[in-house]
A and B are shown apart, each in its own frame.
Chain A
Amino acid sequence: MKKLIASNKPLVKIVALTAVLLVVGLTPLPRESVELRVASKKFTESVILGDLLELLAESRGINTAHYAELIGTQTVFKSLANGQIDAYPEYTGTLAQEIFADRDIPSDEALRAELNKLGLKMSAPLGFNNTYALALTRKRAEELDVSRISDLRRFPELKVAVTHEFLDRGDGWPALVQNYDLPQTNVLGVDHDIAYRQLLSGEVDVIDVYTTDAKIGQSDLRVLEDDLQFFPRYDAVWLYRQELDSDYPQFVEAMQQVEGALSESAIQALNAAVEERRMTAAQAAGDFLDRKLGVSVQAVSESWGQVVARHLIEHLNLVRRSLIPAIVVGIALGVFCQRRPRIGSGVLAVVGLLQTIPSLALLVLLLPIVAALGYQNLGEGSVTAIVALFCYCLLPIVRNTYTGIDGIQRGTIESATVLGLNRTSRLLEIELPIALPTILAGVRTAGVQNVGFATLGAIIGAGGLGQLILRGIRINDTTLILAGAVPAAVLALALQFAIDALEWAVVPRGLKRGRSAHD
């Protein structure tokens, strides 16, 4: 018996270590229980409306999470349809043109019918229409006395600057010209921000805008009336799951309070408050509820330190739950590849292929799979983000385990064999320990990469420091970008340092470089 334990000690140790790693790596953090989930897309207006939903729900005593700044209309809509979220703000035009593009949707009623089939409901319009429009400076508009798009027919000499997208779209500028019979020939394609600047400096006369742009109010522009109703309507609405009617009637009632209350100028002011005056979306939304609807809410106010710390913890959590399982699986796969070189080369190729899938694509590809398996897709602790990060961690660990073991001198392995070590003992006592420095180098590479990749989790609402970076990019705030990027860089360095320290502690002197025999 004693002999049995003595010869199996390394096996007992490695099984225990694996178990500990898996528990540490897989256990989710305890989280507040969330009753309701709302979401938004990654532009300011959507985030404000998402925060508005969250605040409305919280004001009715419902514990709510807001998965902000998710990527892609399809992603958000599908998440609503499959129940990962309960409500989010959308536009009628987007639904008709993008979600139900293959169906004929002549009216909002037809749209409601389609949504009902999916178990979804759509509120009445919130009051503003966020669509394309043409605008001039008020001064120039008054000079020329134009207020409708058809008025432009009288001034063929006007210079026009429109966004590249608008210029190229079939239903954009070319269709507009045809529809209104516009005579202007001096038309440039430029970036949105540059168009505004050129308009204000007088270089051009007419630009295209979104009707809710914060800059319209600030720059004192006149938006021309679409008198032939050429542009499709993009009325803002709430989309929500049917069961909210019975499960959270107080929330549905609260959503209804907003219907018709958000005019174009009101949403322009909210957009401006966030983009120009650096209010948070939650503060802007809270202000609106307080002033316009008399709903008093407490928007959570956090210090900078608290904000960064919260995102740092989320980030560490993503890294922990992807890197640690990847270490266990990666080493096991590496050993397998070395033992079965023929299948192994296939495994290595697949793992290498995973690494080449662009991260954005991998996340979006994984979303439906993870949803189908019934795991949490969006938001903090997103299984999708964790699985994607796990995939990226595998290659360096698998490859280094493989090469670490495969590179051991044949004489060393054969000596172990002839001494009488069986395969398991040889692996655990000879091969893995000798390969350890190489394996740890792989873990270090995977870990440092992982800290960087984890910032991308933010695009599916998984939180982390990427959320700050994403928000900073959205509202063009360098401080916010740095508040995400600098801690991420420091975290990567700290992880590298920690693995170096681990290596120093566990790798025996005999395997360290820079030493050689003195004969």
Chain B
Amino acid sequence: MLEFSEVEKAYGNTTVVHRLDLKIESGEIAVLLGPSGCGKTTILRMVAGLVPPTTGQITVDSLPLRPDTLRDVRRKLGYVIQEGGLFPHLTAKQNVTLMAKHDAWPGDRVEERLAQLVDMTQFPAEGLDRYPNELSGGQRQRVSLMRALFLSPSILLLDEPLGALDPLIRAGLQRDLKQIFARSQATVLLVTHDLVEAGWFADRVFLIEAGRIVQQGALSDIVKNPANAFVEEFVSSQVLTP
């Protein structure tokens, strides 16, 4: 479960996230949708503890996010970004198992979990000993997912995970991702600017404009009954794109 209570983020006089009250239930797949610069990524980064909120409280599985709880909160998180954020000096396998090694997992337990994830993410096993620069973009994102999922996080944060991929690879990974979400049983918070992608994944879509949630719910409701002119324009611009 992920809860925002009166969360605001301002840089000087510029407020980028306005008074956000939001509760995402365990196992729910929530998508933050909006044009670039609307504040959706900032919301995600606040959950990851990379950006401190100016005011308000974020709670992860009833654990309030504070400097002293940051370490514990992060252990509940999996984090995937657009370019994967893989460590270039480590092989795919080393990337994925880094934290398990830190936690001194026994070798067979590491191998067992790795095998589960290779199966779950449809990653080709022979790629495990390759370095990130020897993998394709889609494979890199699968490695990034395996790394994020390795310690079985309760919350999975994804920032435009398909953004840097070409259309065919993107379609394949998009399909697989939905299954991965289902199998991992994690609460998912995904950021995207793509309406179709949001609709494909989301239990609930949060449409954001200039740091405010302007509409939420199932995508079909949003498309049918846009709450204001912005939503109507955002929706129609993407639907009509040839």
A interface residues, Cβ below 8 angstroms from B:
2-3, 5-7, 409, 411-412, 414-422, 425, 429-430, 433-434, 436, 507-511, 515-519
Contacts and interface: CB of A to CB of B under 8 A. Distances in A.
9 contacts: A3-B103, A6-B101, A7-B104, A411-B84, A415-B81, A418-B48, A418-B49, A508-B131, A516-B133
Given A412-B85, A519-B137, A6 B48 contact: no
Contact of A412 (B75, B82, B86): B86
A419 B89 contact: no
A418 B79 contact: yes
Given A414-B81, A418-B48, A420-B71, A510 B102 contact: no
Contacts of B103: 3, 6-7
A509 B71 CA distance: 32
B161 interface: no
Given A415-B144, A418-B48, A517-B135, 11 more contacts: A7-B102, A411-B83, A414-B85, A419-B74, A419-B147, A429-B98, A434-B88, A515-B131, A517-B134, A518-B134, A519-B136
Contacts of A515: 131, 133-134
Given A515-B133, A517-B137, A6 B91 contact: no
B138 A510 contact: no
B99 A419 contact: yes
Contacts of A414: 48, 50, 79, 81, 85
B140 interface: yes
Contacts of B157: 418
Given A7-B102, A412-B85, A418 B74 contact: yes
Contacts of A409: 83, 85
Given A6-B103, A6-B104, A7-B102, A510 B85 contact: no
B44 to A, nearest CB: 10
Contact of A3 (B87, B104, B138): B104
Nearest to A511: B89
Contacts, number: 104
A248 B198 CA distance: 94
Interface string B154-180: 000100000000100100000000000
B77 A418 contact: yes
B27 to A, nearest CB: 21
Contact of B79 (A419, A430, A509, A511): A419
Nearest to A422: B71
Contacts of A6: 101-104
B53 interface: no
A28 to B, nearest CB: 36
B115 interface: no
Nearest to A516: B133
Nearest to A510: B131
A416 B79 CA distance: 10
Interface centre among A411, A419, A425, A508 (most CB of B within 10 A): A419
Nearest to B147: A419
Per DSSP, chain A at the interface is helix
B132 interface: yes
A516 B49 CA distance: 32
A401 to B, nearest CB: 16
A438 B131 CA distance: 19
Contacts of B22: none
Contact of A510 (B50, B81, B133, B136): B133
Given A411-B81, A415-B79, A508-B131, A519 B88 contact: no
A6 B104 CA distance: 6
Interface string B63-85: 00000000100110101011111
Interface string B88-120: 111100000011011110000000000000000
Nearest to A10: B102
Contacts of A511: 88-89, 131
By CB atoms of chain A within 10 A, which of B79, B89, B132 has the most? B89
Contacts of B101: 6
Contacts of A421: 98-99, 102
Q: Kindly list the 3 A-B residue pairs having the minimum CB-CB distance in the complex, ordered from nearest.
A: A510-B131, A519-B136, A415-B85
A478 B208 CA distance: 79
Contacts of A3: 103-104
A517 B81 contact: no
Given A6-B103, A510-B131, A511-B89, A420 B74 contact: yes
Contacts of A419: 74, 79, 98-99, 147
Contacts of B71: 420, 422
Contacts of A415: 79, 81, 85-87, 144, 147
B75 A509 contact: no
Contacts of B87: 412, 415-416, 430, 434
Nearest to B136: A519
A420 B99 contact: yes
B17 to A, nearest CB: 18
A412 B88 contact: yes
B75 A420 contact: yes
A516 B131 CA distance: 10
A506 to B, nearest CB: 10
Contacts of B131: 508-511, 515
A328 to B, nearest CB: 21
A277 B132 CA distance: 68
B91 A510 contact: yes
A508 B138 CA distance: 22
Nearest to B91: A510
Contacts of B102: 6-7, 420-421, 425
B74 A510 contact: no
Given A412-B85, A415-B81, A510 B134 contact: yes
A509 B94 CA distance: 13
A270 to B, nearest CB: 64
A425 to B, nearest CB: 7
